[in-house]
Amino acid sequence: MEFDDRFLQVQRPKFDCLLFDLDDTLYPLSAGLANECRKNIEDYMAEKLGIDRSKIGQLGNLLYKNYGTTMAGLRAIGYDFDYDEYHSFVHGRLPYDNLKPDPILRHLLLTMPYRKIIFTNADKVHAAKALKRLGLEDCFEGIICFETLNPIHKNTVSDDEDDIEFVRLDKTNNTSNNDDHDVNHTTTSTTSSVIFDIIKHFDQPNPTTSGLPKSPIVCKPSESAIEKALKIANLDPQRTMFFEDSVRNVQAGKRVGLHTVLIGTSQRVKGADYALESIHNIREALPELWEVDIKSAEVVYSGKVTVETSVTA
């Protein structure tokens, strides 16, 4: 028919959302924050929890391997501490000056016509500060972070979904006053009476992970953490692309059903649909992300990174 073209349907884009890890993904490992963060964690273990420094290296490796983060592992084996104090100690002294504005990445993000969300194991103050340093504070709809997955600083495992909120980025508020952690915490770090000896556990013949205590902290690479993040942000894994520098997080994301992009290497691994040496290579590797026609008003976010006041950090 003469006017058939008028009724051609616009093809639906393949993706609804791009989910980005933050540290060592939106900026390179060479920035040095990861190494300093590791040192700060070790100092916290020694100075605040009284762990023998000669054991920290082995202990930290076991906790990271089996629980996703050292923090989650410490809580699992019986150490009790204030979460804000931990984040303040570990992130508060990071060399944020190493992070510089990235106008190239900013342009790439703002021209991709999709929802864009940060998904990090770090706390919201660190996320907001890093994004501000990179000049990317208005490029994302929201942040799924430690507080999002672990609301109200719960120290017990909970399956209650009713108190979980998506930390949205508000155009009107500003986090400039929250860039630095409050180091004047009244809560002191303590330990429970019994600490599970994970080093001894794995020194035994044929050790298994089935007997390990469970952590109250929810974090990547747990599949349940990724599924919870998807639920919080109302995302369909089959229509979400996940950008990560961690191989195990990428593989967990793939098991959940996400499309995955490994950042920091050009060598693909099992579970990664794509592998990019740098986040800056995204357009040449995935040009189809720009080959859709969506109204810009629906996808460009302005304003500074802020968070709901109902989530404390």
Average pLDDT, consecutive stretches of 10 residues, N- to C-terminus, the chain (313 residues) = 50 89 98 98 98 97 97 97 97 97 98 97 97 97 96 50 51 42 39 83 91 96 97 97 98 98 97 98 95 53 44 29
Q: What is the pLDDT of residue 255?
A: 98
Q: What is the pLDDT of residue 258?
A: 98
Residue 249: phi, psi to the nearest 5? -70, -40
Closest by Cα among 240, 247, 244, 253 to 279: 244
How far apart (Å, rounded) are the C-alpha atoms in residues 18 and 112? Answer: 9
Q: What is the pLDDT of residue 210?
A: 87
Q: What is the pLDDT of residue 291?
A: 84
Q: What is the pLDDT of residue 193?
A: 63
Question: What Cα–Cα distance (Å) separates residue 187 from each residue in 80, 85, 138, 160?
Answer: 11, 8, 34, 25
Closest by Cα among 45, 68, 209, 34 to 149: 68
CB neighbour class for 124 (10 Å; exposed up to 12, middle 13-18, buried from 19): buried
Residues in the chain: 313
Q: Taking a C-beta distance cutoff of 8 angstroms, is the pair 40, 262 a contact? A: no
Q: How many CB atoms lie within 10 A of CB 62?
A: 18
SS3 (DSSP) at 97: helix
Q: What is the pLDDT of residue 295?
A: 44
The domains of the chain, with CATH numbers, are 17-28+101-151+197-298 (3.40.50.1000)
Q: What is the pLDDT of residue 169?
A: 59
- Sorted by sequence, the CB contacts under 8 Å of residue 199 that are 6+ apart come out as 55, 58, 59, 62
Q: Among all chains, which residue has been given the structure tokens 């890890």? A: 21
